[in-house]
């Protein structure tokens, strides 16, 4: 029996269409990740952010916590090069000197060290804890990057201190909980004057943030000076 070529072609197309329908029925929906390599990190939305800076004196506004040093660096201000004055700026740098370390920095309320030793649960808390062998005085957290978003504008910064007002809020920092801190409208993120200026933040504001791998950080003013120093305790 002779079968016309156009019938054969129609039958083949029908089979391809039918197989596609069956694939869609049998295959679960797959969500496109927010970011190809940092997709496993949750996005923390509508988090209260406050401003802090290297060299900040202890006052009632910051809980009488001085920022001349940091959780990981007893000579933070000296290593930075001076006070990161929020009121006297030269672009994204402090006026009067070029900082030795990244002016785009932040603090989150978690520290992987306590009393000079790594916390026993740090390896089960920090997302990237298994990516390498860490030295005994090498923080898993210091220098890591986050993406911060405010009304569609995006900035990147490095983790250089612990706060605001806490250092063990792992359920928030490495989870989906809201910040435990009740102060300043439950502030969960401190950022530097450079981050403030880039995003146009108020003293107390709201942002979204997410951890990102260094390979996903694009070039920008936050990469002009990248901090690589590790723990320095006297």
Q: Is residue 120 part of a domain?
A: yes
Give the integer Cα–Cα distance in Å for 122 and 192.
Answer: 26
Segment 151-180 shows an average pLDDT of: 97
CA angle 69, 227, 151 (to 5 degrees): 95
The DSSP code sequence of 88-112 is SEETTEETTS--SS-S-EEEESB-S
Q: How many domains does the chain have?
A: 1
Q: Is residue 124 part of a domain?
A: yes
Percent over 90 (pLDDT), the chain: 78
CB 75 within 8 A of CB 229: no
pLDDT > 60? residue 2: no
pLDDT in tens, 116-125: 999 999 999 9
pLDDT in tens, 179-220: 999 999 999 999 999 999 999 999 999 999 999 999 999 999
The pair of structure tokens assigned to 5 is 């070529």
Q: Is residue 46 part of a domain?
A: yes
pTM for the structure as a whole = 0.82
Handedness of CA 48, 70, 193, 61 (dihedral sign): positive
pLDDT of residue 26: 34
> 3-class DSSP state for residue 118?
strand
Q: Is residue 94 part of a domain?
A: yes
Average pLDDT, the chain: 87
pLDDT in tens, 12-71: 444 444 444 333 333 332 222 333 356 689 999 999 999 999 999 877 676 667 889 999
CATH number of the domain bearing residue 166: 2.40.40.10
pLDDT of residue 124: 97
Q: Is residue 20 part of a domain?
A: no
64: containing domain: 42-223
């Amino acid at each position: 029996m002779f079968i016309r070529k156009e019938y054969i072609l129609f039958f083949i197309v029908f089979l391809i269409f039918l197989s596609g329908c069956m694939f869609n029925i049998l295959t679960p929906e797959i969500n496109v990740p927010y970011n190809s390599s940092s997709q496993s990190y949750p996005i923390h939305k509508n988090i209260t952010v406050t401003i802090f800076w290297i060299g900040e004196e202890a006052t009632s506004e910051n809980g009488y916590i001085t920022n001349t040093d940091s959780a990981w660096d007893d000579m933070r201000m000296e290593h930075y090069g001076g006070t990161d004055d929020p009121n006297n700026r030269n672009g994204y740098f402090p006026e009067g000197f070029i900082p030795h370390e990244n002016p785009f920095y932040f603090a989150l309320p978690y520290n992987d060290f306590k009393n000079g030793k790594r916390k026993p649960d740090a390896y089960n808390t920090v997302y990237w804890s298994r990516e390498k062998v860490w030295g005994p005085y090498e923080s898993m957290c210091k220098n890591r990057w986050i993406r911060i978003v405010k009304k569609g504008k995006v900035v990147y910064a490095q983790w250089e201190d612990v706060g605001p007002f806490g250092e063990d809020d792992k359920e928030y920092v490495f989870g989906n909980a809201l910040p435990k801190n009740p102060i300043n409208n439950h502030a969960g993120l401190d950022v530097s004057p450079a981050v403030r200026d880039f995003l146009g933040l108020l003293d107390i504001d709201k942002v979204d943030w997410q951890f990102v791998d260094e390979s996903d950080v694009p070039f920008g003013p936050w990469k002009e000076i990248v901090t690589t120093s590790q723990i320095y305790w006297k």
